[in-house]
Structure 1
Amino acid sequence: MDRVYHVGNATITKIPELILDSNSPEYLYPQWDPAFLLEHEHWLVPENMDQTRTHVIQSIHTWLIRTRQHTILIDTATGNDKERVWFPRLNRLNTPYLERLKAAGVTPEMVDYVILTHLHVDHVGWNTRLVDGVWEPTFPNATYVFSKAEQRHYSDPENYPEKNRVKFIIYKDSVLPVIHAGQAEIVLPDGTEFLEGVSLYPVPGHSPGQMAVGLTSNGEEALFGGDVMHHPVQVYRPEWNSVYCEDTEKARASRKWVLDYLADRHALYFSSHFAGTSAGRVTRTGNSFKWKFC
């Protein structure tokens, strides 16, 4: 089982689903500069880039938070049995994700909040599972929380031209069922406390309504940043957007906000796609930032 982190009285555990190692850095980051590899090879290889230096390594996972009051999941990875033909690596998966959650001491019935940073394919899949041919909420006692801007974007047919039809598939099988079940809470993140010790911050750009989740407990802090960064190279090059960022300027602004937050508040960062432990700390050196896995 993955390491358990402690933030005050809260515990955080990574629930892994998949490792991705097929993207070249040039594909993931259109601004990629090969000189970066020469400078940072000592920590990139082999955990964050493969031995051939031609592919970055990423993780798809969920963060499980347990406080004295709540059992919370941050994002729900890709899910099993989902039709994702446009992304073969994610198509019709059959992973032991729920078994891994159980190994961490949590059954689906124990989860009371699922907080979705955004509604992309690899963040909402385990919202639902296939039961007798019908997509049903995986976590029957949970409130599923996501932003109004995400819901508005994904529910609007005007946003589904031919090239974006996949968004509708994701929304239909992984989001609509929890709405129809009356388990959705759609919010306007503004940095105020949503639950005791849990705050939701707007970090748009990668997607229209992406949220970061702040956790404060007993004087310690953590931040769950969604896809503000896909790989730790962006700590060193925050101006580099991934190929998946929908609004480039907003994405850069949100990334800078997150890096400043982490460095200024000494908060532990829990990433959505960094490999290895997927968690660490950001420090400031002059006008730049540095990353260290924890």
Structure 2
Amino acid sequence: MKSESMPGIVLGDVEVIRVVEWQGPFAPARGLVPESGAEVWRDNEDRLAPDHWKPDSDMAVVALQTWVLRSGGRTVLVDTGVGNGRERPGSPRFHHWQGDFLGGLARAGVRPEDVDVVVNTHVHGDHVGGNTVGVDGGWEPAFPNAQYLVPAADDFHFGPDNAYGNGRREDDRLIYEDSIAPVHRAGQTVLWDGTHRIDDHLTLESAPGHTPGSAVLRLASGSDRAVFVGDLLHSPVQILAPSCNSCFCLDAEQAVASRTRILERAAAEGELVVPAHFGGAGAVEVRREGGGFALGRWAAHGTE
């Protein structure tokens, strides 16, 4: 049954609810997507403004959000946001962040104890911070009954086994210590690689490049299809110009290959593309156009 507390959509037998923690101008457009030319933004202003780009200030608009899926009688969260009160000295916007992530879930009818599965599409601070909550000066899992699905390649890369390896910053060490390690200690983590089936409707698939373990979540139920792509896409500009990475991608060549592969399948199979950070409607259909891709219809649901 569809939640009455927040807008959502139903895909086959799966309800999808969007919980937006924050939405607004985030960074200069070509700071977020450095390889994109000014012309791709300007020529597509009618599709990008105002939900994804502010032309007057040339700022890209993004959202911090979590997707709640009700599938097969279980509640699944896709990414958990920044988390409150974290030490993030290298990320001033998120340093000591105070949001209302758990309040947003509550308004969607989700209590912490109701969550069965947490999907971290990758181990970046704005995707795993809500995994834990502060308790007596330490950190404990925010969802006591949940299984946390973490890509094994990211767990290795950002964890102590690869201490200060390529692409690992001091903030990454802090993120791992306060948002991943406590879940390991609680015995609630499942590390996976390649593919991982959650239930009859939901399957995780590796899509490396943004991070070594970056993943997408495929939804297939009845005739409906969707793919939750995490940070393969930060802006719709990357659908129009898939060779353009965000400034956060660790392996540029691999990220382009994963992005292109995911967009090709989405266009071929009619999958709704659901990125982690799109503003506006948050999700969009993709179609083939010439030798590339074009934006189709936006998802027919709103925000909190």
Bucket of the pairwise TM-score, normalised by the shorter protein: over 0.9
SS of equivalent to 1:83: coil
- Tell me, yes or no, if the aligned pair for 2:81 and 2:101 is still in contact at 8 Å: no
Unaligned runs of 5+ in 2: 300-304
SS of equivalent to 1:195: coil
Moved more, 179-188 or 146-155: 146-155
User: Which of the residues 173, 178, 186 maps onto 2:178?
Assistant: 173
Compared with structure 1, are the counterparts of its residues 168 and 257 closer, same or farther at alpha carbon in structure 2 (3 Å cutoff)?
A: same
- Tell me, yes or no, if the aligned pair for 1:225 and 1:272 is still in contact at 8 Å: yes
Same amino acid, percent of matched pairs: 34
- Tell me, yes or no, if the aligned pair for 1:128 and 1:137 is still in contact at 8 Å: yes
- Tell me, yes or no, if the aligned pair for 2:71 and 2:201 is still in contact at 8 Å: no
Cross-structure match for 2:103: 99
- TM-superposed CA distance for 1:68, in Å, is 2.9
Q: CA RMSD in A?
A: 1.6
Cross-structure match for 2:123: 119
The code of the aligned residue for 1:166 comes to: D
User: Which of the residues 72, 85, 88 maps onto 1:84?
Assistant: 88
2:262 matches 1:273: no
Moved more, 223-232 or 33-42: 33-42
After superposition, what is the alpha-carbon deviation per residue over 1:46-65, rounded to whole angstroms, capped at 9, x for unaligned?
Answer: 11112514110001111000
Compared with structure 1, are the counterparts of its residues 158 and 150 closer, same or farther at alpha carbon in structure 2 (3 Å cutoff)?
A: closer
Q: How far apart in 1 are the matches of 2:162 and 2:106?
A: 40
Q: How far apart in 1 are the matches of 2:275 and 2:231?
A: 8
- Tell me, yes or no, if the aligned pair for 1:189 and 1:211 is still in contact at 8 Å: no
Cross-structure match for 1:195: 199
Q: How far apart in 2 are the matches of 1:198 and 1:163?
A: 30
- Tell me, yes or no, if the aligned pair for 2:82 and 2:126 is still in contact at 8 Å: yes
- Tell me, yes or no, if the aligned pair for 1:76 and 1:124 is still in contact at 8 Å: yes
TM-score when scaled to structure 2? 0.92
- Tell me, yes or no, if the aligned pair for 2:156 and 2:162 is still in contact at 8 Å: no
SS of equivalent to 2:211: coil
TM-score when scaled to structure 1? 0.95
- TM-superposed CA distance for 1:181, in Å, is 0.2
The code of the aligned residue for 1:188 comes to: D
Cross-structure match for 1:223: 227
Unaligned runs of 5+ in 1: none
Cross-structure match for 2:302: none
Q: Provide the aligned length of Structure 1 versus Structure 2.
A: 293
- Tell me, yes or no, if the aligned pair for 1:160 and 1:167 is still in contact at 8 Å: no
Compared with structure 1, are the counterparts of its residues 22 and 214 closer, same or farther at alpha carbon in structure 2 (3 Å cutoff)?
A: closer
